[in-house]
Structure 1
Amino acid sequence: MVKFKKFCVRGLIVVVTITGVLFSVIGCSTKISNTNTVIDENTDKETNKETNKETNKETEEEKGVNQEVETNTDLKINDNNQPEVDFTKQAVGFSVELFKKTRKPSENSLVSPISVLMALSMTANGADGITREEMQQLLASGDSIENLNIYLDTCRKQLISKDSKLSLANSIWFRDDKDRLTIEQEFLQTNEKYYDAEIFEVPFNKTTVDDINKWVDKHTQGMIPHMVDTLDNDSIMCLINAVVFDAEWENVYTKDKVFNGTFTNSNGIEQDVQMMLSNEYSYIDEGNVTGFIKNYKDKQYSFVALLPNEGISVDEYVESLTGENLLSVIESAQSTTVMTRLPKFEYDYEIEMNEALEKLGLQTAFDVNHADFSKLGSSKEGNIFIGRVLHKSYIAVDELGTKASAATEVEMRDGSALIEYSVTLDRPFVYVIIDNTTKLPIFIGTVMDIVS
């Protein structure tokens, strides 16, 4: 049984968020469904989606089977007909390391690794050179971004089945300024193909800020109503992922299973909480941590609770955690009855991930001088780089189940390399307006005074 002291739960961890680690634990098929559909650019995207769904449904019903075919892409396959890189293991490892670098000690933390992975992988399709190599190493353990696209496309389609409790949405918003910005069409097409990304060419003004926030609000079911405050003058693109998880427990808590209890926080302060009592049937005891696994309805997803032993803080345990260790802990759960008490809780979380991702290996992507996103496009205002990676999340756990949502924004900016010289016209000056072909002056003038 899980050890409790006077109905007090010490530093309960929801690892690492339902939509992150458990997505990775489930894993995805190495086979890719044949969904090659050409969409007329002049036809409404949503209409085509519905039409394609109905067509695919009818085709499957006629055949009586759900057919899967081997992908005709260049996914690297070994002698055992498996990808050379174990993307599931890689995704779990990324999830854990990202959580370790983005959590705030002694505070509630929540990240959705799948959301971050989706947003960064879309961005990676625009990277080249060293920047691409760094993103491949972090996101795909050195394998190609092309193979990562295939893997995530497969996972996305498996995760968002008709009856799924999980939904994912992606979008790309770029500045409507052809004199300044040129976007590579292949970059947009790749992200539309593999990530079903909605593409928006917009003016990057207050209206765009409102539209982005409305999009995030819609695709997080109102759990994250506000994503961005402003778009700076050097902002040229936003790549956004939104994820929603809304699932009922397999066995909901009845009123007689909810009672007043005590939770001792990380500062040793006791708090009055609503505890939920149940018997579960997957018990975890890994030596320095105990816990349990509680299923959601239909058993497609589970809630994994890990409680460090007395004398081991949550901070210490998280720092010792690895992706491989987390997989081992979950897979080694014992099939036995365990009495559990889970507090009701609700909170949100926000973090800018630039520093964390730099520590994880993205050394050039945030560097205005060295970032290489030439496959994304080019700007006359300077080099394109990642300005920020913003992540917002929300979770609520109660008697009925769990609602959780997250959104990740990768904001691309343009700018010049470190400027050694500057000129400030704050005193009288001469100016010339010239024809660039002949270099002939059209106007020459001086400014001696600024007339109000």
Structure 2
Amino acid sequence: MKKRILTGALSLVLAVSALFPLSGCGTTAQAADLMAGVKANPTSTKVDLTDDDAGAVAGFAVKLFQNSMAEENTLISPLSVLCALAMTANGAKEETLAQMEQVFGLNISELNGYLRAYLENLPSGDKYKVSVADSIWFKDDDNLTIEQSFLQTNADYYGASVYKAAFDDATLKDINDWVSENTDGMIENILDKIPDAAVMYLINALAFDAEWETIYKETQVRDGTFTTESGDTRDVEMMYCSEHQYLDDGSATGFLKYYADRKYAFVALLPNEGVTVSDYVASLTGEGLMSTLQNTQDVEVKTAIPKFESEYSIEMSDILKAMGITDAFNIDSADFTGLGQSADGNIFISRVLHKTYIAVDEKGTKAGAATVVEAAAGAAAPSDEIKTVYLDRPFVYMLIDCETNLPIFIGIAMDIGQ
């Protein structure tokens, strides 16, 4: 039987626009890669990936998840969102930068260094990989001037490719093709159009691929029932096995299931009876989540995971404003002069697009996501007791790397098998 692996992919697109765009016909041409032959400067990667910086990143992840949660299946990649926003912050100044750093929990220099080290240390092997790609696309327009230092910093820390393009239909196709290629084809058409005011896109694409440490046998996959919070039932295929990393944070129980070589893991948290998923997620903190993941109980736990597949897309501008990043989205207040200048108006963030996909089955998990930022001018003691956690009602899940326990993906499954 052909082995199926777990794959995840995410891309973040941040689009930047100018306030007073010029209208007119652009010439159709393929994007020019301005970093061809340009080398990134060496940067230090001697960073403790499990220190306070990791706590700040975990805090950002939880807050972003809490603000993104809907009354439906939700899946985000905090890592991808953070990478795209960090690239953008390298062009921010004054209060615009201060607000972003407050939300990050780190100043931009610290965040650049941490993410560079973190991304370089993500393990890859024959049965698992995380691939991350970043790019910056800006409009081929005489009215737009881009700071070379901004491009160089993002090349140094994020390996970002830089493209100058006409921002016409050909550019739209180029960007969508780039995202698709760097998410292993899981995220298609992240952009539906390029607005006239758009002058820049900052994009992060992330693909995750891993096979279970122990693939489920046919006899371990059986018909089951998933019950939603409203009481509706769904016929699903449940995958049964025993794991040995049990989680209990007082409000939910769960388990950790490893992928090959135990470099990555699937984490499931099932809220206690009487606790809704929304109430449970609202109670999470970055510090609390890290403590739960660091204090697993080494006891046998009987588990059941439904096979499921889910897609999710969201525009994150309002979410990030609610978290405290407000000036960046304000036509008048945004200060991205470290990024560049536009004669057509002040540069500000106009959209943050995020799109994800995940599939979990007996061979592993396949996941993908895309995020686009658009800028415009203008542990307990051991126990012999066997635990049981069956994911037959709404639950929270994560894909984490096992060195830092940081979530690469985090989501909720509210309904399965529709």
TM-score (norm 2): 0.79
Q: 2 CA distance for matches of 1:86 and 1:19?
A: 27
The AA in structure 1 aligned to 2:62 is V
- The alignment status of 1:410 with 2:373, answered yes or no, reads yes
Q: Offset of 1:336 from its aligned partner?
A: 0.7
Change (3 A) 1:195 1:70: closer
Change (3 A) 1:326 1:371: same
Corresponding residue of 1:79 = none
Q: 2 CA distance for matches of 1:357 and 1:288?
A: 27
Q: Offset of 1:322 from its aligned partner?
A: 0.8
Change (3 A) 1:165 1:72: closer
Q: 1 CA distance for matches of 2:91 and 2:75?
A: 28
Corresponding residue of 1:194 = 157
Q: Is the 8 A contact 1:18 1:302 kept in 2?
A: no
Q: 2 CA distance for matches of 1:276 and 1:42?
A: 47
Corresponding residue of 2:359 = 396
Corresponding residue of 2:212 = 249
Q: 1 CA distance for matches of 2:69 and 2:338?
A: 32
The AA in structure 2 aligned to 1:358 is K
Change (3 A) 1:127 1:160: farther
The AA in structure 2 aligned to 1:115 is S
Q: 2 CA distance for matches of 1:221 and 1:43?
A: 23
The one of 229, 232, 235 equivalent to 1:266 is 229
Q: Offset of 1:119 from its aligned partner?
A: 0.2
Q: 2 CA distance for matches of 1:85 and 1:308?
A: 28
Corresponding residue of 2:322 = 359
- Summarize the alignment of residues 31-430 of structure 1 with structure 2, pairs less than 5 Å apart: 44=37, 71=44, 86-105=52-71, 107-139=72-104, 141=105, 143-159=106-122, 161=124, 165-177=129-141, 179-415=142-378
Change (3 A) 1:277 1:42: closer
Change (3 A) 1:265 1:237: same
Change (3 A) 1:42 1:340: closer
Q: Offset of 1:131 from its aligned partner?
A: 0.3
Q: Is the 8 A contact 2:84 2:204 kept in 1?
A: yes
The AA in structure 1 aligned to 2:110 is N
Indicate the RMSD between aligned Cα atoms, in angstroms. 2.5
The AA in structure 1 aligned to 2:172 is V
The AA in structure 2 aligned to 1:348 is E
Q: Please state whether the residue corresponding to 2:266 is helix, strand or coil.
A: strand
* Larger Rg, first or second structure (1 or 2): 1
Q: 2 CA distance for matches of 1:85 and 1:381?
A: 44
Q: Is the 8 A contact 1:234 1:413 kept in 2?
A: yes
Deviations 1:175-204 (A, max 9, x none): 001x21000000001001100001100000
Q: How many residues align?
A: 348
Q: 2 CA distance for matches of 1:351 and 1:160?
A: 29
Q: Offset of 1:286 from its aligned partner?
A: 2.1
The AA in structure 1 aligned to 2:174 is D
Q: Please state whether the residue corresponding to 1:165 is helix, strand or coil.
A: strand
Corresponding residue of 1:448 = none
Q: Is the 8 A contact 2:35 2:162 kept in 1?
A: no
Q: Offset of 1:266 from its aligned partner?
A: 2.6
Corresponding residue of 1:426 = none
Q: Is the 8 A contact 2:8 2:209 kept in 1?
A: no
Q: Offset of 1:42 from its aligned partner?
A: 8.5
Q: 2 CA distance for matches of 1:42 and 1:240?
A: 15
The AA in structure 1 aligned to 2:92 is A
- How high is the sequence identity, in percent, across the aligned residues? 49
Deviations 1:101-143 (A, max 9, x none): 01112x000000000000000000000010011111112x2x4
Q: Please state whether the residue corresponding to 2:96 is helix, strand or coil.
A: helix
Q: Offset of 1:84 from its aligned partner?
A: 12
Change (3 A) 1:42 1:93: closer
The AA in structure 2 aligned to 1:361 is G
Q: Is the 8 A contact 1:160 1:167 kept in 2?
A: no
Change (3 A) 1:90 1:72: closer
Q: 2 CA distance for matches of 1:157 and 1:228?
A: 28
The AA in structure 2 aligned to 1:294 is K
Return the structure number with greater strand share.
Answer: 2
- Higher RCO (C-alpha 8 Å, min separation 6): 2
Q: 1 CA distance for matches of 2:154 and 2:267?
A: 32
Q: Which runs of 5+ in 1 are unaligned?
A: 1-16, 21-40, 53-68, 76-81, 416-452
